[in-house]
Amino acid sequence: MRHVISVHDLSVEQIKDVLDRAEGMLPIARGEAVNDCLRGKVLGSIFFEPSTRTRLSFETAMNRLGGGVIGFAGTEATSVVKGETLADTIRMVSGYADAVVLRHPREGAAKLATEFSGVPILNAGDGAGQHPTQTLLDLFTIRQEMGRLEGLNISLVGDLRYGRTVHSLAFALSKFGNTINLVSPEGLEMPGEVVEHLEASGQFGTACHTPEKVIANTDILYVTRIQKERFPDPVEYEKVAGKYRIDPELVSKGPDSMIVMHPLPRINEIVPEVDVMPQAKYFTQAFNGVPVRMALLSMVIGGA
Ligand code: NCD
């Protein structure tokens, strides 16, 4: 495995391999065992957009495997404000590090970065494009909680237009054979490319505007935030902000075995009362970023 740019580049076998390795990493991620397979290696962590979980879990993963991290979170203190291009930043960081994890507001930025990098690039989110490492931890959580990755009814809820996590996840789930429901406010529907792919592979369920319509038939309720920063017009954001409110009453209408996931951050789309319900898995999901990214780094940098 070299660059990790899009879920399209990952085969079912590769995905399973990452998840199996991530399972083996759990004791190290929890601090119960020690492994320094990346000792002496350096990860370049360059984030042009805000991040909490993705950046911190990548850095934790690198530290727990004995490696080091360089990088920046926000460009204020870097030469980017002087006008340095992404190409030059990547050329330079790839000379300092053994792999580069990149988050950037522009769709296609990670792919572009591969042209200028001498080391593997890991896409940590490119605008409204994809977020493949998030998808791997989502799949890890689904397998952990449901025991399988196929034959599930997954309802993706929220900003399906600008949300990169749901783009990657829909493509990845379709590799396994599932039914995918799309629930979004008007104007924030899933891009045609994703819908056509789901239809062509016979995995398109229902598209609607309210989660009530699909909840009774949902194994996984995957909720997302409205991506405020991607709206060209703030007035349009205000129209849809707070549209969905997942509360205990709605969650109880799902099957007993249903789980609720969210890539986080959540704004107000899941009320805090849901957090204590057994269905709520979003904090477990956030923790799973560590073992999954440990597995990825050990494969990409360590050659495991
Ligand atoms: C997501 C992202 O950045 O795309 N966050 C994350 O990485 N867990 C989701 C979001 O910002 O809404």
Q: At what angle do helices 12-29 and 53-64 cross, to 10 degrees?
A: 70
User: Would the pLDDT of 79 be above 80?
Assistant: yes
Task: Among 131, 228, 290, say which to mutate for ligand 1: greatest number of ligand atoms within 8 Å of CB.
Answer: 131
Distance 166 CA to ligand 1 centre (A): 10
Of the residues 3, 41, 64, 131, only one is catalytic, namely 131
Task: Write the CATH number of the domain with boundaries 132-285.
Answer: 3.40.50.1370
Whether the per-residue pLDDT at 41 is higher than 80: the answer is yes
Sign of the C-alpha dihedral, residues 162, 163, 168, 170?
negative
Whether 114 is catalytic: no
- Asked if the domains 7-130+287-300 and 132-285 are classified in one and the same CATH topology, the answer is yes
Residues 44-69 have a mean pLDDT of 97
Q: What is the mean pLDDT of residues 140-155?
A: 98
Whether 41 lines ligand 1, by a CB cut-off of 6 Å, is no
What pLDDT, on the 0 to 100 scale, is given for residue 287? Answer: 98
List the chain domain ranges: 7-130+287-300, 132-285
**Ligand 1 atom 12: the closest Cα is on which residue?**
225
**Tokens representing residue 196 in the block:** 């056509």
54 catalytically annotated: yes
pTM of the predicted model, to two decimals?
Answer: 0.97
The predicted structure's pLDDT at residue 304: 74
The single residue of 103, 161, 262, 281 carrying the catalytic annotation is 103
Centroid of chain to Cα 228: 17
Q: Name the amino acid, one letter, at 174.
A: S
The CATH class, in words, for 7-130+287-300 is alpha beta
pLDDT confidence of residue 114: 98
| N-to-C CA span, the chain | 10
Pocket-testing residue among 137, 165, 227, 266, ligand 1, by greatest number of atoms within 8 A of Cβ: 165
Angle between helices 164-173 and 192-200 (to 10 degrees): 10
The stretch 68-77 carries a mean pLDDT of: 92
* Token output for 149: 């990755």
* pLDDT category of residue 260 using cuts at 50, 70 and 90: very high
The pLDDT of residue 1 is above 80: no
